[in-house]
Structure formats: C-alpha cells, structure tokens
Amino acid sequence: MALGIISFRNNVLEQTEPLSVILPEPDVGPGPFPVLYLLHGMGDDHTTWTRMTRIESYVKPMPLIVVMPMTQWRSMYVDSLNGPKSASSIAQGLVDFIDSRLNTRPERAYRAVCGLSMGGYGALHLALSFPERFGAAVSHSGVLLFGHVNVDHYPPDDRGARMRAITERTVGPYPKGGPADLFAAAERVPADLRPALRIDCGTEDFLLEHNRAFHKHLAQIGYDHEYVEHPGSHTWDYWDEHIKDSIDFFVRKLGWLAAVS
C-alpha cells in the first residue's frame, strides 16, 4: 500500500491542487481498480484522513485506490453561486484526471464517495447531483440540512451565524428546493440511477437531527438506503471506527472484491 501526495491541475477551477492518494500494493493484483473518493470536513485538508485515522491499514489488503482531494475550508463541496465550482471540480475534473492517470475501472459501479461532517454532506451531494459518476455514497455525521433550510432557520448563536454566512455565500439565502438541497436532489434522481446510500451519525452528535430528518425523507420517498446510529459524537474516534463500515458497505453494494479478484 503506497501513500503519496500528487499535484492535480484542476481545469474546472483553473488551479493546481494537492491530492493524497493510497495505491494498492503490487501483490494485490494488476488491476484495474475501483476508486473511493474520501472527503474531509470543515477546517481539514487532504491529509487529515491519513493523519487522524487508520484508513491505510483498513484498505491495505484491498484492491482499491483511495483519493483524498482538497477543497476550500467552507466550500460545502457545492458549485458556489459566487465562487468556486467545488462539486464539478471533483465529479468531473478530478474523476477524469484520476481515470486518465491511474489504473482505474472508469464505470460508476467502481466509483464511490464518502466523507465526514461537511464532507458527509458533500459525498451525498456529489452522488445525487452526478449519479452517472458515482455508484454509492456514505455520509458520516453529515451536515445534511445544509441547502434544505433557508438562512432564517439557523439559531442566533455563533454556530448559527457561521452557517448563515456560509449558506449565503455559497448557495444564497433561500436554497431550499435548489441544486444544493439533498432532499430535493434525492427526489430528482431517476430510479434506475439512484446511488446506493449509507448514513450514520453518533447519538451524541450535534448533527443527529440533520441525519434523522434526511433518513426520514428517504424512507418517505421510497429511496432504499442504510441508516445507522452509533454511540459517539463529532470526533475522530467515531470516524476512525466507522470508516470501516463504509468500506464494507461499498464492497457489499458494489461487489468490488468479486469484480477484481
């Protein structure tokens, strides 16, 4: 298992960005390999997953490429109204770059996206907005009401003020029903293109109600998915433990190991 940092010329954003990439060991096989895009949270960067979790150890025996991109601190992984097109830069620019440079299986069934907190929202947003590109997505402790509530929803405290500012800057003050609304996006995806979804959250996490609300909505519209609550809060101990569940989900739902064995 080889971990490295490479430079990626992002043609969507017209800038060069760093990427952390985990490649399979040579004895795993010749490939081609599935790819997992692993998204960081707010205030983190492309190195945080490898610094704060044992993701390298968890995927070491697997025929799998893991790509950890960098995004701006409060991008929310969306195509901003007045700023960077962060969603398109990953789903189009980065995916095309990785498929052109590495030994990948370039079909959606061999491509998945996962993330935590801001990246948990981002993973579901990318999969539901670009279902032709991603076969599955997992959100850990995601900010899943982002884009579904207007700015007057947020409470008048520091966290609410921060979310109002992020919402207004990226998707405008009234985003509900628009392209950043996961609830609306899940309804728009054609039934034959629905990515497999898994959502988990800690029972002591301040974002628990976000996750419960989206889970309830998916159940109401008949979108088959997995939803789990575990003991824990918004911490790296929680995410280090449950990233293993994500990997297992992708193997089960997309048949990755059988496909490359």
| Tens-place pLDDT, residues 20-50 | 999 998 888 889 999 999 999 999 999 999 9
Residue 76, both tokens? 């929310």
Q: At CA 198, angle to CA 242 and CA 32, rounded to 5?
A: 85
pLDDT at 32: 95
Are 38 and 139 in contact by the 8 Å Cβ rule? The answer is: no
pLDDT at 83: 78
- For residue 211, count other CB atoms closer than 10 A to its CB: 25
pLDDT at 146: 96
- In the predicted model, residues of the chain with pLDDT beneath 70 are 1-2, 73, 257-261
- For residue 152, count other CB atoms closer than 10 A to its CB: 8
Pick from 13, 99, 22: nearest CA to 61 = 22
Domain extent listing, the chain: 2-150+179-260
pLDDT at 258: 53
> Counting beta carbons within 10 angstroms of the beta carbon of residue 186, is it exposed (0 to 12), middle (13 to 18) or buried (19 or more)?
buried
Which pairs with CB-CB distance under 8 Å and at least 24 residues apart come from 10-16? Answer: 10/89, 10/93, 10/94, 10/97, 11/93, 12/85, 12/88, 12/89, 12/92, 12/93, 13/84, 13/85, 13/86, 13/89, 13/93
**What are residue 170's DSSP bridge partners?**
none
- For residue 177, count other CB atoms closer than 10 A to its CB: 14
pLDDT at 107: 96
Q: What's the CATH code, domain 2-150+179-260?
A: 3.40.50.1820
Overall pTM > 0.75: yes
Return the SS3 of 243. Answer: helix
